[in-house]
Structures are given as C-alpha cells and as structure tokens.
Amino acid sequence: MRTVVAKFGGTSLADAGQFMKLRRIVEEDPGRRIIVVSAPGKRFEGDEKVTDLLLQCYGQAAAGESFEGALAKVDGRFRDILDGLGLDFPLSEEMAKLREHLAAQPSRDYVVSRGEYLNARILAAWLGFTFVDPEWCVCFDADGRLDAALSRRMMGAALRPLENAVIAGFYGAKAEGGICTLPRGGSDVTGSLAASAIGADLYENWTDVSGLLAADPRIVPEPKTVRYVSYRELRTLSYMGASVLHTDAVLPVSDLDIPINIRNTDRPRDGGTTIVRKLPNGETKYPIIGVAGRAGMSVIQVEKLMASDGSGFTAVMLDILKRRQLPFEQCLTGIDTVTLVIRSDLLDACKEELFDEIRRELSPDYLGLTEHLSMIAVIGEKGTETCDANVRVLQALMQAGMPINTINQGAGKLNLLIGVPEEKYEEAVRAIYATIDEAL
C-alpha cells in the first residue's frame, strides 16, 4: 500500500464542518496515514486566524496589557469545533496552561505554536490516530534555525513505527529546549519534512483551491488550473508571487522525487495540481504552465565603451552590490552594457550613494535608472525551449502596443522574463495569457 502524507491548511480545519470533510477524505484512502495540520484558519471573509489571535495574545501580554479578549476568542474557536464534533477534550486545562504561561514571561513562539498543537491533538482524538508533538522531532539549532537533516532523522524515527499519526505543523524545538516556529505558512514545510522522513509515495497538500492557476485570477478571469508542474517551475511561480505552497516546502520532497499534490478540501474530486520532476507515463505536460509577475522593480543601466574587453566591468559592478548586500533580481549583460533589475524598495534606501559609488569605481559613459516596472515571467520548461512560444508572447505584446523595457531568457530555458511599465502590467499579463490559454 502506498504511503501518503496529507497536510491540511488552516481553512481545511477552520470549523467542525471542515473536520468532518477532512475525516471523509482521510478514510477514503488508507494510504493517508500521516496527517499534518495548521491552526484553524478563516471561516469567512474578515474572520481571524487562530495564529493571528495568538500573536495578539502574546503582543498584549508582552506589553503588560490584558490578553483576555483575544484568548477568549481562541478558546471560543476550539470550543465550537469540539461542540460541533461532540468530542470530549480537556480544553479548559489547556487554556489554563496557556493563560498561566502568558501571565508569566511569555515566549512568542510557544504562544503562537499552540494553535497547531491544540488542533493536532483534537484531530488525532477525532480520527483515533496517535498525536505526535513536533517538539520532540522537528529540530532547531541554538540560533533558532531549522535543522532539516536532523529533523528528517528524528521524524522518521518517530513516525515510521506508527500505523497512523497526526503531527502538528509549524513548530519544533531546540535541543536544549524551547519551542521555535517556522515562518508563517510553515506547516507546509513540516509536511514536506514528514514526507521525506518516511519516504512517502506522495505528499498531499490540502487547501482551499483546486491547484495552481495559470495566472492570477484577480487579473485574468477564470484562468485554468495546471495539472502538472515541475519543481523548478513551481519555484519560479512561488518566487513571482503565487502563494499556494510555502517555497521552503519544495526542497525536502524534491530531493527524493516525492510528488506534491495540491488538493481542495471543499472539492475533493478535483485532481488538483501535481508537482513532479518527471511526468507519469502517458501524461503530456503543458509547454507553458503559467504567467506570473512582480511589481515594484527598478532597472539600472550602466554603459562604458570597451567594457567587454575583459576588464572585469561586470564583476566590479556586482562587487559593489555585494558589498552593500543589495540583492538583484536579474543581471543582463550586453556589449559594453550591464543592466540590473533590483527591487525598488531595496534600491530606494541607498540609490544616491550607490550611484556615486558606481561613478567613482567605473566611470561609466552612461548611468541610467528606470523605475516603476513590473517583471513578468512566462513559465514553462518545455515551452520556452523553442522560440515558438517566445514569438507568440512577444507578438501578443506588440499587438497590444506594449512598451517592453527588458527581455531575459537564460540557457536554462525555464522562463521568459519581460519588464514592462507597472501601469501596463495587468494588460500585458492578459495579452500573454490569451496566447497560452488554448494549450492548457
């Protein structure tokens, strides 16, 4: 029998009704043995996530203010779930422990982790699975950084002997004690570590959408869902702003070639999106899997006659950025020119000094800056291998009368990156999507 690690996000566990759906999903496939959970999320637009309420409790307690209002809301959320399920659970004792901790010298990470801790314990009781506390197997170093290799070993030892288990996402602990949390959305990472720790056949990530959309639905009306995406393509999609899966969740499973399947708890019949290195036999992959983008970019252009003569012009330019610890998004070099794409919010803080330094060290013939750009990524390992797709995309932009600032495609052929003025971004995305929609 295959082994599946199934991670359920906050909206999939927001109330008793969602717990019931989850149980049906788990019972439908006996392979779903290891369940990873987030804290209860939003039940409706404008609702509060339990993690945010706990952060509020901590903030108020640390400031010496009353945290009772926010704590009562946390208590209410779990009480509603327990009442809806008709489950007996020592919630009052757990709340008393949390109140006591908050009233003493509270630790932020401990307080914030209690949403996952309680949700996992309740779900374990409801499913009749063993509860596994990540405090004992998700390991952080003394500086509070996740130790993925050690966590894998410890999680493997904790989970492998169990027939089935529910493990809380989002937190772990240091060897010397003390709860540490992962970044927000980190339960995805716990799920991925669990899948790699037990060598699962599949990592399911259950959420509130039926997979990855080929474009942002706020820009493109009803974009299609993509069935298969490679790990590399997913990385680009996430980098460019698609927020379905935490970026750090890819590495632990991609290392072992464990597919990730993004599924919708409200529509369990939808196949969702599967993220793989290699497609299953007989499946064809879309050449271009989507278009995504990021606003708030600036472009610096530096030119100097004979800069390409091996004098290390580009190296000096990059060294200036390195010394300033200023990351860049793209670096395009041409004959006697270097073009750098940098996030405007990072550049704005040091623009004048940076330009002075470039003038001093490189004496350029021309130093230019273009601001308020958006970078669009047309993503597809297969599609961008030939120039077909590129021609279609650029033709569509030309027909839309789109001013193009930069075009970038490396030999890796994963994306075509196009810089356009910010105010033209949505129009450009729609024009590009129209060229790939049919093939999806």
Nearest approach, Cβ of 133 to ligand ASP (angstroms)?
A: 16
In the complex, least distance from residue 6 CB atom to ligand ASP, rounded to whole angstroms: 14
R_g (Cα) of the chain, nearest Å: 25
Nearer to ligand ASP, 57 or 302 (CB): 57
For 62, 229, 245, 289, the CA distances from 280, given in Å and listed in that order, are 52, 12, 22, 17
49 is an interface residue for ligand ASP by CB under 6 A: yes
With CB under 6 A as the contact rule, which of the stretches 13-21, 71-79, 143-151, 185-193 interacts with ligand ASP? 185-193
Choices 14-22, 180-188, 237-245, 309-317 (CB under 6 A): range interacting with ligand ASP: 180-188
Residue 346 has a CB neighbour count (10 Å cut-off) of 17
Least Å distance, CB 170 to ligand ASP, is: 4
**What would the x/- binding string for ligand ASP be over residues 8 to 37, using CB under 6 A?**
--x---------------------------
CA separation, residue 308 to residues 189, 303, 319, 363 (Å)? 44, 10, 17, 14
Nearer to ligand ASP, 49 or 227 (CB): 49
Residue 94 class from Cβ within 10 Å (0-12 exposed, 13-18 middle, 19+ buried)?
middle
Interface with ligand ASP, residue 172, by CB under 6 A: no
Mapped onto helix, strand or coil, the DSSP state of residue 342 is strand
Of 139-147, 182-190, 234-242, 382-390: span binding ligand ASP (CB under 6 A): 182-190
Query: Cβ 111 to ligand ASP, closest distance in Å?
Result: 12
Cβ 263 vs Cβ 202: under 8 Å: no
For the chain, the straight-line distance linking the first and the last C-alpha, in angstroms and rounded, comes to 33
Among 2, 184, 278, 322, binds ligand ASP (CB under 6 A): 184
Which residue from 106, 134, 186, 290 is in contact with ligand ASP, where contact means CB under 6 A? 186
Residue 206 binds ligand ASP, judged by CB under 6 A: no
Indicate whether 317 belongs to the interface with ligand ASP (CB under 6 A): no
Q: Are strands 366-379 and 415-421 parallel, antiparallel or unpaired?
A: antiparallel
Residue 263 lies near ligand ASP (rule: CB under 6 A):
no
Half-sphere exposure of 105 (CA within 13 A, CB side): 1
Task: Tally Cβ neighbours within 10 Å of residue 419.
Answer: 26
| Selection from 49, 10, 3, 48 nearest residue 265 by Cα | 10
The yes or no reply on residue 134 touching ligand ASP (CB under 6 A) is no
Give me the residues that bind ligand ASP (CB under 6 A), please.
Answer: 10, 38-39, 49, 51, 115, 169-170, 184-187
